[in-house]
Amino acid sequence: MPQIIDGKAISTAIKDELKKEVAENNIKATLAVIQVGNDPASTVYVGNKKKACEYIGIGSRSYELPEETTEAELLKLIDDLNRDDGINGILVQLPVPDHIDEHKIIERISPQKDVDGFSPESVGNLCIGREGFVSCTPAGIIELLKRSGISIEGRECVVIGRSNIVGKPMALLLLANNGTVTVCHSRTVNLKEICKRADILIAAVGRPRMINRDYVKEGAVVIDVGIHRMDNGKLCGDVDYDDVSDIVSAITPVPGGVGPMTIAMLMYNCVKAARQVK
């Protein structure tokens, strides 16, 4: 039986630590959450983020903007929130509608309030090993590994996926933790062979159950970032869990693995943002 990495329990532990810190130090944090349009998945994510704020004792202010919101209107709201001393963190739920330039929006958020860690300054700091906000999903994966007693140093880490939100910052974080890192993507030749080298395999491919035992070395640690709804209504990840579970040493389930960690690390970033202005 592999070690099942319990993201729900670990995320709860992190949220409880933050809740205690907020209460004991009388930290006043408020997160502004902006959603443009009403993509159902985004509505669920945004709702969960607001619930987590409430649990920890962080305020949240919601901006639910119509699909037709212009880029200029959204930029104006961000400018107002950047100037607002009552707001420590600003989050614009992605994706934004096609008529809005995502990069322009991300760049406009003050780096001091960039709790998603998506701004060029935050990414640059991560790249050169300076303190800053780190993208929540990859930061959560590092916490999962550390709190499960899995060491990264010197190990072969393979990341499948090169998105700005997960793949690239994941590679940088593994490198910062002294892993030996390979990043694979849709154009990678010999994907199976490269994945089979991994001591730690991070699957952020975006394709349901693509990663089966042909991609996994005996004894590897497998982290599944994907989440997909199957025709039968159940959730699955990028990894074919049942196919690999007898050869891995540790694995994250879907749901209950990486997913809850993203929100826990967002809360961590919100508390960090509030600590910085104290």
- Summarize as ranges the residues that interact with ligand GUN (CB under 6 A): 91-94, 116, 136, 165, 262
Instruction: Give 14-17's long-range contacts (Cβ < 8 A, gap of 24+).
Output: 14/143, 14/261, 14/264, 14/265, 14/267, 14/268, 15/52, 15/55, 15/56, 15/264, 15/267
Choice among 15, 49, 113, 168 that is catalytic: 49
- Cβ–Cβ under 8 Å, residues 7 and 251: no
Q: How near is the Cβ of 84 to ligand GUN at its closest, in Å?
A: 19
Q: Is the CB of residue 266 less than 8 Å from the CB of residue 102?
A: no
Structure-token pair, residue 131: 């303190």
Q: Which is nearer to ligand GUN, 58 or 92 (CB)?
A: 92
Minimum CB–partner distance for residue 165 and ligand GUN (Å): 6
Decide whether 10 or 244 has the Cβ nearer to ligand GUN: 10
**Residue whose tokens read 């010999």:** 190
Q: Annotated catalytic residue: which of 6, 15, 35, 93? A: 93
CB of 96 to ligand GUN, least distance (A): 9
Q: How far is the CB of 230 from ligand GUN (least distance, A)?
A: 20
Q: Which is nearer to ligand GUN, 18 or 165 (CB)?
A: 165
CB of 41: closest distance to ligand GUN in angstroms? 8
The C-alpha atoms of residue 117 and residue 74 are separated, in whole angstroms, by 19
Which lies closer to ligand GUN via its Cβ, residue 87 or residue 191? 87
Helix axes 259-277, 40-56, angle to 10 degrees: 50
**Whether residue 93 lies in the annotated active site:** yes
Catalytic, 112? Answer: no
Residues 275, 235: Cα–Cα separation, whole Å: 37
Distance (Å, whole) CA 49 – CA 241: 27
Q: Of these residues, 116, 199, 224, 240, which one is catalytic?
A: 116
Question: Which residue is at the shortest CB distance from ligand GUN?
Answer: 94
Helix (H) or strand (E) holding 65: strand 59-65
User: Smaller CB distance to ligand GUN: residue 95 or 219?
Assistant: 95
Q: Which residues are catalytic?
A: 49, 93, 116
